[in-house]
Structure 1
Amino acid sequence: MYKQKIVDVFRAFIKICEEHDLQYFCHGGTAIGVVRHQGLIPWDDDIDVLMPRPDYEKFLSLFSQLEQDEYELMVPGETPSYYLPFTKMCDKNTTLLEFEHIPCVFGCFVDIFPLDGASGDKEQRAADWLLFRRIANTLMILPKPSKENFIWLFKRLSKFQLRTAIDEISCAFYKKKKYWKTCERLRDIVTRYEYGKAEYVGSYGSQFGVKAFWPKVWFDDVVMMSFEGMEVRVPSGYDKLLTQVYGNYMQLPPEEKRVTHHSVAYRNLKERRSLEEVYQELNKKRKI
């Protein structure tokens, strides 16, 4: 049922893109699913897409004008409890809490990564991504209650994670102001190179590091392929792109690595519950 929910969100996202002439490309494990399985990888638990920065901005601006009440967006810089540097399109009639210590509730989702311009110099791309990642890591820390920051401070110190320990104590105060400032700093990095003029583009918010930066010509054309009974978009250079990120992506991984990678503290696929209701249910389960 969960996989059907995220496929439904994806279908709604594609409809919006088609109606408004917006570009997107399947990304990461979703792109592998398209090419290798013609659908979701059997053990995958999310759907990822890339949107060129101009299309991404248009999508965000028009979404609130759409005549629909089934979906919502989680956008960095708009909700202080949201802890990721990319957008999620979510089903408003479902409930997910990924981490119990981060008080942010949303619904079954599709991850929408902006595809941004990048430096033509490989070392500079690596430096830009590393700076982005270090700043983005604080988004995971800021939404925590201050009490949790102090608890995690000692956890980090016990593991000799000094940089993250410093972030924990720094993020315990003036949370909203620091959240807005952090999002501004991230935006400054990703918009440093104008998309239309850049020869290289990439997904700064991706987990793949410098592997997630590619020649823009790989995205010049689109190939339509089947995914869960739908026709979806992959970039014309998908083979080179996936090889760069994954190596031999057509080979199945060992069985022990065929696992999901998302944390789920709470899930309700029938209705949206408030954060307070979610915590109440979690506390009840602990007492049983």
Structure 2
Amino acid sequence: MLIYVDKICKSNDLRYSIYYGTLLGAVRHKGFIPWDDDIDIVLPRPDYEKLLYILEKDLNYKLSTPMNENPYRYTFSKLFDPKTKLVSKQIFDYEDKNAGVFIDIFPLDGLPDLKEEQYSFALQMDMYKAGFMNTLGCLYARSYSHFRSAIKLLVKFPTYIKYRNQGNYNYWRDMYESYSQKYPFESSNLCGHLEYVKYQKAIYPTSWFKKENLQSIEFEGQKISAIKNADLFLEQYFGDYMTLPPEDERVSNHLYDFYWK
């Protein structure tokens, strides 16, 4: 799937980089982190929108985005392999009915230069995200335990009512999507995936993601696009990224089972 998307991006002159754990895997393992189970890529907002437009018409894979699926629980997009089936172990998971083996596709949006304004903007984005996460059915009670879900249904119900009185799921999702583009990528000095920018480790120079600062990097024997400042990114986000975690922490962050259909 990554090779397929890589070809689309290159043929349409779209800037993209592998991201998060996928970039870490490429640098440290020359491919997948052995206990990882997905692919992460990131694109500047203009290129992100162009890629979604292309993939939405694609017949080989299934694209799910905040705007083409209703309801949808994520702030970014996912590309699924329709020959596979994802089964979540989470109660009230609200995963896409077409979910399978996937690539996560993240948009990079611009940010203000001043830290105070960055943090204020991040808090506003958090409020909009909390709004649609708390008005999407019983998603607010999601858990890996039936007992904990039952407790959350009771304890967090007032939060659900608070957000629901201000607007429904569509209202909060639309507010998140529109406000995320307050600072255009191309005219901003800084950028980030807005879900995490209240943490300084998740704020980067936009120059890192400009076309001239992308390179080809080895990933499972293939040449894939990545930022030239991969080492700086990984050190900022993961710290001592070349040191393997303890064995008991070498597990996936996702509690999913995957099946061939």
Query: Residue 136 of structure 2 is aligned with which of 118, 130, 143?
Result: 143
| TM-score, normalised via structure 1 length | 0.78
Instruction: Check if 1:186 corresponds to 2:176.
Output: yes
Q: Deviations over 1:99-152 (max 9, x none)?
A: 331343212110000011111112222222233233223444433359969x95
Query: Residue 37 of structure 1 is aligned with which of 18, 22, 29?
Result: 29
The 1:231–1:208 alpha-carbon spacing in structure 2 relative to 1, beyond 3 Å, is farther
For structure 1, the 5+ residue unaligned runs are 1-8, 159-163, 272-288
Deviation at 1:211, TM superposition (A): 1.6
2:138·2:153 contact (CA, 8 Å) conserved in 1? no
Query: Residue 155 of structure 1 is aligned with which of 131, 148, 152?
Result: 152
Instruction: Check if 1:55 corresponds to 2:47.
Output: yes
- Match in the other structure for 1:19: 11
Alpha-carbon separation, structure 1, partners of 2:245 and 2:138? 39
Q: Deviations over 1:69-116 (max 9, x none)?
A: 220111013222320000001111211133331343212110000011
Matched to 2:258, the amino acid is R
Instruction: Check if 1:238 corresponds to 2:230.
Output: yes
Query: Residue 93 of structure 1 is aligned with which of 83, 107, 112?
Result: 83
- Match in the other structure for 2:219: 227
The 1:217–1:189 alpha-carbon spacing in structure 2 relative to 1, beyond 3 Å, is same
Deviation at 1:19, TM superposition (A): 2.0
Alpha-carbon separation, structure 2, partners of 1:172 and 1:93? 37
Deviation at 1:261, TM superposition (A): 0.5
Alpha-carbon separation, structure 1, partners of 2:38 and 2:225? 17
1:79-90 mapped onto 2 (5 Å cutoff): 79-90=69-80
- Match in the other structure for 1:282: none
Alpha-carbon separation, structure 2, partners of 1:113 and 1:146? 22
2:77·2:106 contact (CA, 8 Å) conserved in 1? yes
2:21·2:33 contact (CA, 8 Å) conserved in 1? yes
Q: Deviations over 1:26-78 (max 9, x none)?
A: 11111110111010111112211111101001111222344xx2201110132
- Match in the other structure for 2:106: 113
| TM-score, normalised via structure 2 length | 0.85
The 1:173–1:240 alpha-carbon spacing in structure 2 relative to 1, beyond 3 Å, is same
Alpha-carbon separation, structure 2, partners of 1:195 and 1:147? 31
For structure 2, the 5+ residue unaligned runs are 143-147
1:102·1:143 contact (CA, 8 Å) conserved in 2? no
Matched to 2:120, the amino acid is A
- Match in the other structure for 2:145: none
Alpha-carbon separation, structure 1, partners of 2:2 and 2:207? 26
The 1:214–1:237 alpha-carbon spacing in structure 2 relative to 1, beyond 3 Å, is same
Deviation at 1:155, TM superposition (A): 2.4
Q: How large is the RMSD of aligned CA atoms in angstroms?
A: 2.7
Instruction: Check if 1:169 corresponds to 2:146.
Output: no
Aligned length: 251
Alpha-carbon separation, structure 2, partners of 1:204 and 1:144? 24
Alpha-carbon separation, structure 2, partners of 1:61 and 1:249? 35
1:118·1:198 contact (CA, 8 Å) conserved in 2? yes
Deviation at 1:212, TM superposition (A): 1.2
Query: Residue 70 of structure 1 is aligned with which of 44, 54, 60?
Result: 60
2:133·2:140 contact (CA, 8 Å) conserved in 1? no
Alpha-carbon separation, structure 1, partners of 2:232 and 2:102? 28
What secondary structure, in the 3-state scheme, does the structure 1 residue paired with 2:41 have?
strand
The 1:42–1:236 alpha-carbon spacing in structure 2 relative to 1, beyond 3 Å, is same
